[in-house]
Amino acid sequence: MNPLNSLFATAFVASVLAASPAQATTMARTMEDQGGPACQLSVPTTSTQVRPRASGMRNEGTTNAFVLCQFTATSTPFTQASIVLASIDGADHNLSCTGMSGYATQTAYYSTFNIFVRASDQAGTSIGWNSGYFDPSLSTLPSRGFSVTCNLPPGMAIISTFAFYDEDVGS
């Protein structure tokens, strides 16, 4: 092949490759945290019996306490966020938890669940929020900011938090 044909062939191949649209690739990711470090008392005090432990944020006291679990924001909104609750006193419990998607400086969306946790459920009881609980027209939660507040009764623990999202990893 003569040098001029070689030059045209190389230029043609380069132009075809440059003109091809890059395909975005996303990867499903899961972010997990243990309930102890992920959650805190809504009103911190030293006289409470609610404590972060290696086995979760535990209410070892005799009264309900509001506990807030914060989810670290990612580059994209979550497709779902959840917490896992467990009985630590051998009794069944009812409680309520409210998921909040948003920030104080923008519209915040709220969704509350009333949950029944069986003591016999050794793996814990998971509750989760997806876009359908806030805005069914969305495929993700309305905001990158997400938190859950539970009115945690005595004998209950939040043992873990999970967030699911799709990350753009390029082409």
pTM for the predicted model, two decimal places: 0.82
What does DSSP assign to residue 75? S
Domain 23-170 has CATH 2.60.120.260: yes
117-149 pLDDT per residue, tens: 999 998 999 999 999 999 888 889 988 899 999
Mean pLDDT of 12-23: 52
Compute the Cα dihedral for 110, 112, 117, 121 and give only its sign. negative
Angstrom CA distances, 44 to 39, 69, 148, stand at 11, 13, 16
Side chain identity, residue 50: V
With 0-12 / 13-18 / 19 or more C-beta atoms within 10 angstroms meaning exposed / middle / buried, residue 63 is exposed
Distance CA(168)–CA(46), nearest Å, equals: 43
The residues spanned by each domain of the chain are 23-170
pLDDT at 70: 94
CB 43 within 8 A of CB 67: no
